[in-house]
Amino acid sequence: MSEAKTQRMVLIGATGLVGMSLIAQGRDFPHVRLTALARREAPLPDGARMEMIIADPANWPGAIADMKPDVLACALGTTWQKAGKDEQAFRAVDYGLVLQCAKAAAHAGTRQMVTISSVGADPHAKSFYLRVKGELEEAIKKLDFQRVDILRPGLLRGHRGDDRRTAERLAIAASPLLDVVLHGQYRRFRSIGADDVARAMLALAGAKSDGRFLHDNDGIHRAPVMARAQRGIFPVASSLSD
């Protein structure tokens, strides 16, 4: 069994659904030393092994540059409702802020970025949301990271309290039935637990192969197993990339 090199991971988007799950599960990944950047304080789960830095988002790129992490993890994203249904406000967070942080990390020598996008992301999509996600993917791929992992989950399941739109609540309620009929090329549209996405992000930290990797739902589920195998716990025959 090989000893995994400690990975200094900086997380942006720490107070969201996936970010909080990543923090909670961080203790199960001893090779990850986690620091989270957040705009507000948030209760930390018992046993959390991490540091949280509270700062204005405008200062995040500078903080990332100073910390020089091995891995930048991004679970940051606003919603159409939180952005006041304003395209410019939505783009400022989901594209502008994320890209500024990514550029700061790349310029500081960060080797890897692991980020959440969305199933259907496409820079030419008719949907504004999917178009912004696709444009961001393309911009991140061009940065000077040795490795980029882009996770494209379907509808995220998990407890957000009251922070969900009515349509989203209905979709989650119906997801057990919808998931059953989504097969073949449509499997990627199935719902997926936020815990599964967070676990994959942690598992991918420090993955050895260089390049740009896209992970759909199936890839997200496989990532922890593949990462363990790559670190010598047991052999597998298939590739880490999707």
Q: Is the pLDDT of residue 184 over 90?
A: no
Establish if 2 belongs to a structural domain.
no
Structure tokens given for 58: 């405008």
Contact 193, 220 (CB under 8 A): no
Establish if 240 belongs to a structural domain.
no
> What per-residue confidence (pLDDT) applies to 170?
47
Confidence tier at 45 by pLDDT (50, 70, 90): confident
Establish if 65 belongs to a structural domain.
yes
Q: How far apart are CA 37 and CA 101, in angstroms?
A: 11
> What per-residue confidence (pLDDT) applies to 86?
84
Q: Is the pLDDT of residue 239 over 60?
A: no
Establish if 236 belongs to a structural domain.
no
What is the crossing angle of helices 60-67 and 98-107, to 10°? 20
pLDDT in tens, 197-215: 999 999 999 998 999 999 9
Establish if 239 belongs to a structural domain.
no
Q: How far apart are CA 64 and CA 59, in angstroms?
A: 9
Structure tokens given for 9: 């991971």
Structure tokens given for 178: 């919808």
> What per-residue confidence (pLDDT) applies to 180?
47
Q: How far apart are CA 101 and CA 84, in angstroms?
A: 23
Number of domains in the chain: 1
> What per-residue confidence (pLDDT) applies to 113?
99
> What per-residue confidence (pLDDT) applies to 46?
78
Structure tokens given for 14: 């720490």
Structural domain boundaries, residue 71: 7-230
pTM, entire model:
0.84
Contact 72, 46 (CB under 8 A): no
Contact 101, 72 (CB under 8 A): yes
According to DSSP, residue 45 is labeled P
Establish if 162 belongs to a structural domain.
yes
> What per-residue confidence (pLDDT) applies to 236?
39
Establish if 160 belongs to a structural domain.
yes
pLDDT in tens, 121-154: 999 999 999 999 999 999 999 999 999 999 999 9
Domain with residue 148: its CATH number is 3.40.50.720
Q: Which residue has the higher pLDDT, 224 or 139?
A: 139
Establish if 1 belongs to a structural domain.
no
Sheet holding 50-54, edge to edge: 50-54, 32-38, 7-12, 71-74, 112-116, 147-151, 211-215
